[in-house]
Amino acid sequence: MALMITDECINCDVCEPECPNEAIFLGPEIYQIDPHKCTECVGHFDEPQCVQVCPVACIPKHPGFAEDRETLMQKYLRLTSPSSAPRP
């Protein structure tokens, strides 16, 4: 599962720098998570870092992105492989 940010977000800015996948960004109104980049922190940390720091607990699992741990690990490997880096 990727995670998602609900409209209870208060734009406190603390989660964005904590994301190891740079999946969190400020949308038109509130912060958002790119589900294609979120691995639930699998590969980086034991717990989702954004959930740990969010003061209003507004980051549930994304119902549209059901992924088991193995799939999340594959996503992590894909995101961190050299071939996925932007070309100069």
Please say which residue, 56 or 77, places its beta carbon nearer to ligand SF4. Answer: 56
Please say which residue, 18 or 73, places its beta carbon nearer to ligand SF4. Answer: 18
Q: Which residues bind ligand SF4 (CB under 6 A)?
A: 3, 5, 9-15, 18-19, 21, 23-24, 31, 33, 38-41, 48-50, 53-54, 56, 58-59
CB-CB contact of 68 with 18 (8 Å) = no
Minimum gap (Å) between residue 77 Cβ and ligand SF4? 14
Which run of H or of E encompasses 26? strand 24-26
